[in-house]
Amino acid sequence: MMGAMNKLTKKLTYDATAEAVTAMLDDPQFREEVLERQQVVRGSATIDGDVVTIEQVRAGDDLPSFARSFVGDEILIVQTENWTSPTSADVRLAIPGKPGEAVGTLELVESGGTTTETIALDISVKIPLVGGKIEKLIAGIIESALDVEQRVGREWLAR
* Per-position pLDDT tens, the chain of length 159: 445 579 999 999 999 999 999 999 999 999 999 999 998 999 999 999 999 999 999 888 888 888 888 778 888 999 999 999 999 999 999 989 888 899 999 999 999 999 999 999 999 998 888 889 889 988 998 999 999 999 999 999 999
Amino acid at 148: V
- How many Cα neighbours within 13 Å face the side chain of 40? 25
Q: Are 35 and 43 in contact (CB under 8 A)?
A: yes
For residue 56, tell me if it sits in a domain. Answer: yes
Task: Give residues with Cβ within 8 angstroms of 118, minimum separation 6.
Answer: 9, 10, 11, 105, 106, 107, 109
- Residue 1 in any domain: the answer is no
Residue 50 lies in a domain: yes
What residue type is 93 in one-letter code?
Answer: L
pLDDT at residue 1 in the model: 42
Is residue 152 situated within a structural domain?
yes
Q: Which domain holds residue 98?
A: 6-158
- Beta strands 100-111 and 114-125 are antiparallel
Q: Long-range pairs for 81-85 at CB < 8 Å and ≥24 separation?
A: 81/51, 81/52, 81/53, 81/54, 81/106, 82/50, 82/51, 83/50, 83/51, 83/52, 84/50
* pLDDT of the residue at 134: 87
- In a domain, residue 93? The reply is yes
pLDDT at 4 (0 to 100):
54
Establish if 49 belongs to a structural domain.
Answer: yes
Indicate the pairing of strand 51-59 with strand 100-111: unpaired
**Do 106 and 22 touch, CB atoms closer than 8 A?**
no
Residue 71 maps to which CATH number?
Answer: 3.30.530.20
Model pTM score = 0.91
CA distance 157 to 125: 35
Question: How many domains would you assign to the chain?
Answer: 1
- 111 is a domain residue: yes
Given this model, what pLDDT does residue 64 score? 86
